[in-house]
Amino acid sequence: MGNWLVNHWLLVLILVVWLGLNVFLFIYTFLTYEMSDKYYYTREILGTALAFARASALCLNCNSMLILIPVCRNLLSFLRGTCSFCSHTLRKPLDHNLTFHKLVAYMICIFTAIHIIAHLFNFEHYSRSQQAMDGSLASVLSTLSHPEKAGNSWLNPIQSPNTTVMYVAFTSIAGLTGVLITTVLILMVTSAMEFIRRNYFELFWYTHHLFIIYIICLGLHGLGGIVRAQTEESMSENHPHNCSESYQKWGTHESKCKHPHFEGHPPASWKWILAPIALYIFERILRFYRSKQKVVITKVVMHPSKVLELQMRKRGFSMEVGQYIFVNCPSISLLEWHPFTLTSAPEEDFFSIHVRAAGDWTENFIRAFEQQHSPMPRIEVDGPFGTVSEDVFQYEVAVLVGAGIGVTPFASILKSIWYKFQRADHKLKTQKIYFYWICRETGAFAWFNHLLNSLEQEMEELGKVGFLNYRLFLTGWDSNIAGHAAFNFDKATDILTGLKQKTFFGRPMWDNEFSAVATAHPKSVVGVFLCGPQTLAKSLRKCCHRYSSLDPRKVQFYFNKENF
Amino acid sequence: MGQIEWAMWANEQALASGLILITGGIVATAGRFVQWYFGAYSIAAGVFICLLEYPRGKRRKGSTMERCGQKYMTAVVKLFGPLTRNYYIRAVLHLLLSVPAGFLLATILGTVCLVIASAIYLLAAIRGEQWTPIEQKPKERPQVGGTIKQPPTNPPPRPPAEVRKKPSEGEEAGAAAGGPQINPIPVTDEVV
């Protein structure tokens, strides 16, 4: 727990500050509307619902401002680049931008619910006091503007007993924009549910652009000035503390109190959202500009099981290990951008991606490159984005675990480690690597096989056979495969992969692996890196705790789970 | 875009509308708003819609994530057969359910969302989608040695007695079965 806190203190700080800001704004506004004198008469009709509505409105403004910022990925990358001298811990929050975006979205939903419920009560109270015939203060206040309509000093937006709340809601700017904004919010949230997002991404992507309507309606929402406060001038003639008791005598000769005058607030939302809107527009222009830059495809390789490798060059492109890019192919789809992890090392003079056929777009993409006779389709690239896993190079001993598709960023990492090792780069502290590759079947990752093969050969040539230890675990085996393996037990290379290291079947027994590593390196700091499912993360974290020695001088395991 | 199953999104939208109807209904009834009985209707309609929409249908391709504990409602919804399988009927049902809630401001948001859900269901129905329940797969435990019940009761088949008694005749039948094995090289048993 302590280890986690040390690594993530900035994230926790940001969360605490954000929650604290929301709580503070809510309570501050609530108390203003609940205690302040200029809302005394308004409260007479509306009660506490007024304060709830206004407090939640301010928090909505604040959160609507914050929600656009985490999705400006180019600007965040720029921040990461400029702050490269900052430690990795300081830059980590930038990798969790989408999580923050979702948290702010949930907060917006919660405050929207509070805001709407409070305003429903407000409308109902206004309607009741307009229809009340009991001569109470509330009904007197409601009838206020009748003789003085020209002075525009009404309090109750419902002007006649026959007007229904429904009518007012749909004929006022606030009501109309309110219904529209909430409908749009609900559509955005339902199409952003994890199930829809993972399986029908384009639906989520296009529907989410309704946020433009959200922003416009938010800016217009306060235009009507329905929330009224007593004017300063009127407070001097009719202070609630002195005059509220004698409301039947207002404006008559017997009392000094005149009728109170009210004014509405000018809209305030636009002040909150103007800057993020400008930032976001700039971000989209930047994305468009970057995507227009020429991408030169230097090599196209078709791997078995329909995996396409593309090696490309782009001016001004520089990457780090474990990052990803967005790729667009206008001849397939004008508007779709799909993310791919980079599989090349920063030391190489090109950057590459491996594309697997996993849906409409990828299948069309691979087919477009398979045609050798037609010219190569033009592609656009945006990036690189994402977490930078430099920590891998900082540990003497590194345990790398890649499960399934999670093995892709390790292609980049392994290549980079190998280049650094060859050049005796002093930034590379790694002396030994244990690489665990767990997958159901190797078919779609045959290209990774080739990579391990070539690394194996190069290490033999350099005489450093012990540097990289890798184990491949096939979890999708059947008796046929096992039979073959048993039959070919004596062969030097594995029959499935052709590698010197034999394939294991089933899942790794982490206890054995960790105790073997701990025994082999009794005094080292071991970094454990995982790219894979959550369940695996849990078991690895447990093993890290169990096999870390209590003595800080002896072996210590540090677990890093990165979302590559 | 061609592979979108609109019914999945309609299902999420309808579930959200149900929750909004319930909330609006509670506000209207608890606050005793004007015409609050529409609020009471809205709560009932919302609960019905949530129960109907809670079990997620099966995707056409790929695996479907079940909602927590949905198998009980799946059994109930399955009972109605074509009434719940057909999305035209669901579209019309949601449209009709949404109308009374439209009379009250507190619940009109639920109406709007439910009408949108109904429209998406209509689109899904036009594209030929259907609600298929997610069936529980019976857990098959591969019994190791499950077919080994008892040791065999019959001895292994042996050739007829007369063939066994004449090994020197050199006939194939005789040579194939043979009597006691005569080893050309002496064999010693080295098992400890």
Q: How far apart are the CA of A55 and the nearest CA of chain B, in angstroms?
A: 19
| CA A169 – CA A189 distance, rounded (Å) | 24
**B8/A179 touch (CB, cutoff 8 Å), yes or no:** no
Q: What integer pLDDT is reported at residue A388 of this predicted model?
A: 63
Q: What is the pLDDT of residues A141-186, one digit of tens each?
A: 777 764 445 456 788 888 788 888 888 889 889 999 999 999 999 9
Residues 6+ apart with CB under 8 A from B165: B179
pLDDT at B169 over 50: no
- Decide if A123 and B105 are in contact by the 8 Å CB cutoff: yes
Of A47, A223, A227, nearest to A155 by C-alpha is A227
Residue-level pLDDT at A116: 95
Cα A431–A437–A440 angle (5° rounding)?
A: 180
d(CA A244, CA A259): 11
Q: What pLDDT is recorded for position B176?
A: 45
> What's the rounded mean pLDDT across residues A349-376?
85
- Using alpha carbons, list the distances in angstroms from residue A157 to A26, A135, A163, A262, B74: 25, 19, 10, 12, 48
Q: Give the range among A26-30, A93-97, A451-455, B141-145 with minimum mean pLDDT.
A: B141-145
Å from A171 to nearest chain B CA?
A: 13
Q: Which of B8, B138, B134 is nearest to B63 (CA)?
A: B134
* pLDDT confidence bin for B177, thresholds 50/70/90: very low
Query: Which residue, chain included where needed, has tokens 């429904």?
Result: A166
Contacts B116 to A, Cβ<8 Å? 183, 187
pLDDT value, residue A562: 64
CA distance A201 to chain B (A): 9
Q: Which residue has the tokens 């020209």?
A: A150
Higher-confidence position of A426 and B102 = B102
Is residue A94 over pLDDT 80?
no
pLDDT digits (tens, 9 = 90+) for B140-150: 666 565 566 67
Kindly tell me if the per-residue pLDDT of A445 is higher than 60: yes
Q: Above 60 in pLDDT, residue A1?
A: no
Q: Which residue of A has its CA nearest to B65?
A: A195
Determine the average pLDDT of the residues in B71-99. 91
**Looking at the predicted structure, is the pLDDT value of residue A555 above 70?**
yes
Q: Which two tokens stand for residue B17?
A: 């509308």
* CA–CA min distance B27, chain A (Å): 7
Distance CA A119, CA A51 (A): 10
* Angle (nearest 5°) at CA A72 between A66 and A73: 135
Cβ–Cβ < 8 Å for B45, B111: no
Apex CA B98: angle with CA B93 and CA B104, to 5°?
165
Q: B9, A203: Cβ pair inside 8 Å?
A: yes
Residues of chain B with Cβ-Cβ distance to A116 below 8 Å are: 109
Interface test with A, best of B4, B9, B27, B103 (most A CBs within 10 A): B9
Q: Cis peptide leading into A533, omega within 30 of 0?
A: no
Instruction: For residue B20, list its beta bridge partners.
Output: none
Instruction: Indicate if the pLDDT at residue A404 is higher than 70.
Output: yes
* Percent of chain A clearing pLDDT 90 (strictly above): 25
A98 compared with A29, residue with greater pLDDT? A29
From B2's Cα to the closest Cα of chain A, the distance in A is 8
pLDDT at A380 over 80: yes
CA neighbours within 13 Å on the CB side: how many for A355? Answer: 27
- Burial class of residue B82 in the structure, from the number of CB atoms within 10 Å of its CB (0-12 exposed, 13-18 middle, 19+ buried): exposed
Between A528 and B149, name the one with better pLDDT: A528
The pLDDT value recorded for residue A515 is: 87
Cβ neighbours, 10 Å, residue A359? 14
Whether A120 and B108 lie within 8 Å, measured CB to CB: no
**Given CA atoms A104, A107, A111, A113 in this order, what sign does their dihedral have?**
positive
The mean pLDDT value for A4-31 works out to 88
Least confident of A26-40, A127-141, A433-447, A492-506: A492-506
For residue B173, name the pLDDT band (cuts at 50, 70, 90): very low
Chain B interface disruption, residue of A46, A114, A121, A124, most B CBs within 10 A: A124
Q: Give percent of chain A above pLDDT 70.
A: 91
A 62-121: CB under 8 A from B: 113, 116-117, 120-121
pLDDT at position A495: 65
Q: How far is A200 from chain B (nearest CA, A)?
A: 6
- pLDDT at res. A58: 95
The residue type at A504: F
**Using one digit for the tens of pLDDT, what is the confidence trace for A47-56?**
899 999 999 9
Residue A357: its chain B contacts at CB < 8 A?
Answer: none
How far is the C-alpha of B34 from the C-alpha of A483, rounded, in Å? 77
Nearest chain B residue to A207 by CA distance is B9
Cross-chain residue pair B116–A183, CB shorter than 8 Å:
yes
- Which residue of chain A comes nearest to B66, CA vs CA? A195
Q: Which of A106, A114, A195 is the best substitution to test chain B (most B C-beta atoms within 10 A)? A: A195
pLDDT of residue B170: 44
First-residue to last-residue Cα distance in chain A: 23
**pLDDT exceeds cutoff 50 at B118:** yes
Cβ neighbourhood burial of A512 (10 Å; 0-12, 13-18, 19+): exposed
User: Residue A327: helix, strand or coil by DSSP?
Assistant: strand
A454 pLDDT higher than 90: no
3 state SS for B25-91: HHHHHHCCCCCCHHHHHHHHHHHHHHHHHCCCCCCCCCCCCCCCCCHHHHHHHHHCCHHHHEHHHHH
Distance from the Cα of A26 to chain B's closest Cα (Å) equals 22
| Cα–Cα distance for residue pair A240/A274, rounded to 1 Å | 37
Rounded to an integer, what distance in angstroms lies between the CA atom of residue B166 and that of residue B177? 10
What would the mean pLDDT of A394-399 be, rounded to a whole number? Answer: 85
- A359: chain B residues, CB-CB within 8 Å: 3
pLDDT of A181 reads 96
Q: Is A167 on the interface with B (CB under 8 A)?
A: no
Question: pLDDT averaged over chain A?
Answer: 84
Query: Which residues from B are below 8 Å from A when comparing CB atoms?
Result: 1-5, 8-9, 12-13, 16, 20, 23-24, 27-28, 31, 33-34, 56, 59, 62, 65, 103-106, 108-109, 112-113, 116
Contact A196 B108 (CB under 8 A): no
Determine whether A557 is exposed, middle or buried from the number of CB atoms within 10 Å of its CB (0-12, 13-18, 19+).
buried
* Cα distance between residue A382 and residue A269, in whole Å: 32
* A189 in contact with chain B, both atoms CB, cutoff 8 A: yes
* H/E element, A300: strand A295-303
Contact state of B116 with A121 under an 8 Å Cβ cutoff: no
Contact B12 A195 (CB under 8 A): yes
Which residues from A are below 8 Å from B5, CB to CB? 200
Q: Is A335 on the interface with B (CB under 8 A)?
A: no
Higher per-residue confidence, A60 vs A318: A60
Choice among A148-152, A274-278, A332-336 with the minimum mean pLDDT: A148-152
pTM of the full structure: 0.80
Calculate the average pLDDT of chain B: 83
Summarize the confidence of residues A273-281 as an average pLDDT: 94
Grade residue B19 by pLDDT with cuts at 50, 70 and 90. Answer: very high
- Lowest mean pLDDT of A203-217, B77-91, B131-145, name the range: B131-145
* Chain B CB contacts of A106 below 8 Å: none
* Whether the predicted pLDDT of A547 surpasses 70: yes
A438 pLDDT exceeds 90?
no
Q: What is the pLDDT of residues A8-20, one digit of tens each?
A: 788 889 999 999 9
Residues of A in contact with B3 (CB under 8 A): 200, 359-360
In percent, the amount of chain B with pLDDT more than 90 equals: 45
